[in-house]
């Protein structure tokens, strides 16, 4: 009887592996690479480089996407507003989209920042304004600290950068990082369960704002459900707290002009800790606090993001006035209410550290 159960379990696992392999193949067929590739620090990096126009009004700009995403997530809303005004670099972070992980990029956000710096060197970009969203925010802090000669300014969008109460992340990220067990989990269950849950999860990422029409497909978000990408994502997210504990005390070393954009209805990160902490730690940083904005300023307030880029580039921009215009536009948004819980930090956790 035990042999029968073992055989049945093996067949179930084999079937789930097959479903995942076919599903991953379909995802890749539907979401092919759209840029070029470069071998950087042992990783094959996928990127879209938009050359500088003649008489560019703005300095070069590098965009660093967040967890579960890829280069399209920032390129789609922001490139049209900046086309013809600046040189731009969008890329899949190591292990995401169509980029390989490489041997060193599991180590920390600092390693990913070094990969970005090397890619800039390959493309002849001497320096840039760096725009980081969510997990991309902690990579942006590493870039600003460790590559100051390449940093003209920093724009943080709903960043994740500081230690938070308890340091917990979703259970499936922690599970995925366990040797053998995590590999088996990612190869059998993440595609099927992730496909079923992705729409609801995305609603809560944007909530209380509306998910843009056809967002998941146009931004190629299902690419993260392929097992290697899911493992890279889990490694990043599960390691964020440990990295932030050591890195946050050094954010005062960042000297570049800085703007932080955050929403008071963010349901993904503790904005009161991360965004407020960055403005506390980086001298001269400006916090743009937007009422009724969720976790996606890049899509919901792209005009404000462009204003922030202009501001750190030295232009006289009233970001607080732009934020008020955004607030008026989204004041009635109530998507995901009742389904997506607000996250609040206990007051005792808000004391400066």
Strand partners, 89: 49, 62
Helices (H), the chain: 2-30, 72-82, 109-123, 135-146, 171-176, 181-188, 190-206, 215-218, 227-247, 271-281, 297-300, 302-312, 319-330
Could you tell me which residues are beta bridge partners of residue 16? none
Per-residue pLDDT reduced to its tens digit, 76-100: 999 999 999 999 999 999 999 999 9
pTM of the model: 0.95
- At residue 235, the pLDDT reads 95
The pLDDT value given to residue 353: 34
103 vs 70: CA distance, rounded Å: 20
| Confidence tier at 103 by pLDDT (50, 70, 90) | confident
Inter-residue contact 288 to 310 (CB < 8 Å): no
In order of 47, 110, 114, 163, the CA distances from 42 in angstroms are 15, 15, 12, 30
Q: What's residue 9's pLDDT?
A: 63
pLDDT in tens, 217-241: 999 999 999 999 999 999 999 999 9
Show the tokens assigned to 37.
């590739």
What whole-number distance in Å separates Cα of residue 260 and Cα of residue 25?
38
- 3 pLDDT higher than 90: no
Instruction: Give 346's pLDDT tier (boundaries 50, 70, 90).
Output: low
Span between the terminal Cα atoms of the chain, in Å: 59
Residue 104 pLDDT grade (very low, low, confident, very high; cuts 50, 70, 90): confident
**CA atoms of 198 and 201, how far apart (whole Å):** 5
Q: Which is it for the CA torsion 216, 297, 94, 172, positive or negative?
A: negative
Model confidence at 7, pLDDT cuts 50, 70, 90, reads: low
Give tens-digit pLDDT for 42-68: 999 999 999 998 889 999 999 999 999
Q: Which strands form 258-263's sheet, in the order they lie side by side?
A: 36-40, 43-50, 88-91, 61-64, 128-133, 151-157, 258-263, 286-290
Report residue 1's pLDDT band, with 50, 70 and 90 as the boundaries. Answer: low
CB 62 within 8 A of CB 71: no
């Amino acid at each position: 009887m035990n042999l029968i159960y073992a055989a049945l379990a093996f067949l179930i696992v084999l079937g789930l592996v097959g479903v995942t392999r076919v599903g991953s193949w379909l995802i890749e067929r539907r979401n092919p690479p759209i840029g070029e590739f470069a071998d950087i620090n042992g990783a094959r990096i996928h990127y879209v480089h938009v050359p500088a126009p003649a008489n560019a009004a703005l300095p070069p700009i590098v965009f660093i996407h967040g967890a579960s995403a890829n280069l399209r997530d920032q390129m789609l809303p922001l490139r049209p507003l900046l086309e013809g005004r600046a040189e731009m670099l969008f890329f899949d972070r190591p292990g995401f989209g169509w980029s390989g992980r490489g041997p060193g990029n599991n180590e920390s956000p600092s390693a990913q920042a070094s990969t970005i710096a090397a890619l800039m060197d390959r493309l002849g970009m001497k320096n840039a304004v760096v725009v980081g969203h969510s997990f991309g925010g902690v990579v942006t802090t590493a870039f600003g600290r460790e590559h100051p000669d390449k940093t003209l300014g920093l724009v943080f969008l709903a960043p994740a950068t500081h230690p938070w109460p308890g340091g917990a992340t979703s259970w499936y990220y922690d599970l995925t990082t366990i040797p053998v067990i995590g590999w088996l989990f990612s190869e059998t269950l993440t595609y099927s369960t992730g496909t079923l849950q992705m729409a609801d999860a995305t609603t809560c990422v944007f909530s209380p704002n509306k998910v843009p029409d056809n967002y998941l497909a146009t931004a190629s978000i299902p690419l993260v459900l392929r097992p290697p990408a899911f493992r890279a994502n889990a490694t990043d997210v599960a390691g964020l707290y440990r990295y932030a504990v050591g890195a946050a005390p050094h954010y005062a070393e960042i000297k570049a002009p800085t703007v932080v954009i955050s929403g008071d209805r963010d349901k993904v990160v503790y904005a009161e800790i991360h965004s407020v902490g960055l403005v506390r730690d980086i001298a001269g940083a400006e916090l743009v606090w937007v009422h009724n904005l969720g976790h996606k300023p890049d899509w919901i307030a792209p005009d404000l993001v462009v204003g922030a880029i202009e501001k750190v580039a030295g232009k006289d921009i009233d970001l607080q006035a732009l934020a008020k215009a955004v607030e008026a536009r989204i004041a009635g948004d109530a998507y995901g209410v009742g389904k997506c819980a607000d996250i609040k930090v206990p007051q005792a956790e808000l004391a400066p550290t």
